[in-house]
Amino acid sequence: MSGAPLQHLPSGVGLLGIAGYEADTARVQRAVQFFEQRGHAVTLAPADSARHLRFAGTDAVRLAALQQLLDDPNIGLIMALRGGYGMSRLLEQIDFAAIGAAVKAGRKRFVGHSDFTAFQLALLARTGAVSFAGPMASYDFGGHGSQHQLSSYTVEHFDALMNGCEHVVEFAAAGPALQAEGQLWGGNLALVCSLLGTPWMPQIRGGILFLEDIGEQPYRIERMLLQLHHSGVLAQQQAVLLGDFAQQQPSAYDNGYDFAAVVDYLRQRVSVPILTGLPFGHCPDKLTLPVGGQARVTHAAGRCRLELSRPA
């Protein structure tokens, strides 16, 4: 797909193996080709495919890969290769001050989702710098399904946030009528909960919280949402936007207790408006969202208008 996703940045793209190991090297190559066809030089870090346990290298190797991309003045966009697990092991050793300075100076942008949520929220908590919850190189730009299809929706909205400081999107949603405005933050539900009580959890009041997850049973989703409720996080928000919660597997024992039942129960327990239908998460078609940027949400009659803005 044609397009130029980087503006006012160094043109190089760094694909960062910071979490899980990518076993499908063909997906990696398709992601590399996606950016190369747009005229960008691509750097893979780590450069080799050495695997340590379930990770894309030892902790030291993955930290060195992050530092390599941060130090390279020719690289403007750093995108997580894939998710999995691994970022939580590194948080204490990352120089967020240096990363925040590079982001605020317009030298770097960071994009990813899933396990990368830990990096994004830590960066926001420690520096206030904005990153982007959006596609990952292998997972998204490597293509989905047996035909390796690349989502034009994902590419369109990725380009919109990379090329402009403001973006408006509309989508079908469910929940109460709503008008709200605040700082946008969130990501993967399990990772958000894992940061509660740590120095890497942002303290956002009056925000717009977005959440998604994959492979979690409805009762686990409810338990994590209640954790955010009991800790006071939900009550401090203007609204909660729920994205895709993929690969749920309710059993016969659940007796109809599904994701919809979880949402209905939460709406009875919390005063903050909860909307479902946000096109974001472990799904082929996803928005790119500025973590730490601003959002205005308007919902009525099953349609949601989301106005996004990021720093220049």
Annotated active-site positions, please? 114, 212, 282
CB atoms near residue 199 (< 10 Å): 11
Which DSSP symbol is given to 92?
G
Give the three-class secondary structure for 11: coil
β-strands 178-188, 207-214 pairing: parallel
Token pair in block for residue 280: 């974001």
Please state the separation of Cα 173 from the chain's center in Å.
20
The secondary element (H helix, E strand) that includes residue 224 is: helix 218-230
Angle between helices 117-127 and 96-104 (to 10 degrees): 80
- The number of CA neighbours under 13 Å toward the Cβ of 2 is 0
- Determine contact, residues 165/89, Cβ cutoff 8 Å: no
Cα separation values, 188 from 23, 112, 161, 169, 282, Å: 22, 11, 20, 21, 9
- Residue that has been written with the tokens 């402009």 in this structure: 164
Rounded CA-CA distance 81/9 in Å is 20
Nearest to 59 by CA among 28, 91, 37: 91
